[in-house]
């Protein structure tokens, strides 16, 4: 099956929203509430199409968006990363393919931080496998930094 990783297009908004909003995924994010498509769509446009410093990549399998990987600039001029796959595509190595591919596409230059809930073993393993190093932790989260 052919997998393609590319920068998100404007019309990938709905697919990204569905993945972000899936109840099985939401529990792992900072904001766990469902988001309406209207509010997501405006945010998506502002974030990735009016500001070209933020980047969102998607992995397509046979033409369907299976997951996204976002790099959002933070106030320290580094990126905060967020990655998620549609639950139907999880646990088959695609998270690794998407993360490693997106890191190659974004290139070196800025620091990349990941904030992961302590119980999220798949995500922790995924980041560690891709050269993210733990640099702090608190009661809820583990914080990792990408080592280029």
Ligand X SMILES: CC(C)(COP(=O)(O)OP(=O)(O)OC[C@H]1O[C@@H](n2cnc3c(N)ncnc32)[C@H](O)[C@@H]1OP(=O)(O)O)[C@@H](O)C(=O)NCCC(=O)NCCS
Given the rule CB under 6 A, which residues bind ligand X?
25, 28, 83-85, 90-96, 116, 120-123, 125-126, 129
Q: Where are the alpha helices (DSSP H) in 69-120?
A: 94-106
Least distance (Å) from ligand X to the CB of residue 107?
21
Select 44 or 81, whichever has its Cβ closest to ligand X.
Answer: 81
Position closest to ligand X via CB: 95
Name the β-bridge partners of 87: none
What's the CA gap between 92 and 15, in Å, rounded?
Answer: 19
Select 6 or 125, whichever has its Cβ closest to ligand X.
Answer: 125
Select 44 or 102, whichever has its Cβ closest to ligand X.
Answer: 102
Q: In Å, what is the CA distance from 141 to each residue of 20, 116, 123?
A: 19, 5, 12
């Amino acid at each position: 099956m052919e997998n393609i990783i590319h920068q998100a297009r404007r019309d990938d908004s709905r697919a990204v929203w569905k993945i972000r909003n899936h109840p099985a995924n939401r529990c792992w994010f900072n904001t766990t509430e469902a988001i309406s498509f209207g509010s997501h769509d405006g945010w998506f446009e502002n974030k990735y199409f009016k500001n070209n410093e933020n980047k969102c990549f998607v992995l397509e399998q046979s033409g369907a968006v299976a997951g996204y990987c976002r790099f959002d600039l933070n106030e320290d001029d580094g990126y905060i990363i967020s990655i998620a796959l549609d639950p139907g595509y999880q646990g088959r190595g695609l998270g690794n393919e998407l993360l490693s591919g997106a890191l190659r596409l974004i290139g070196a230059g800025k620091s990349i931080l990941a904030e992961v809930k302590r119980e999220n073993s798949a995500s922790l393993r995924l980041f560690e496998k891709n050269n993210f190093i733990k640099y702090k932790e608190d009661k809820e989260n583990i914080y990792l930094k990408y080592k280029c």
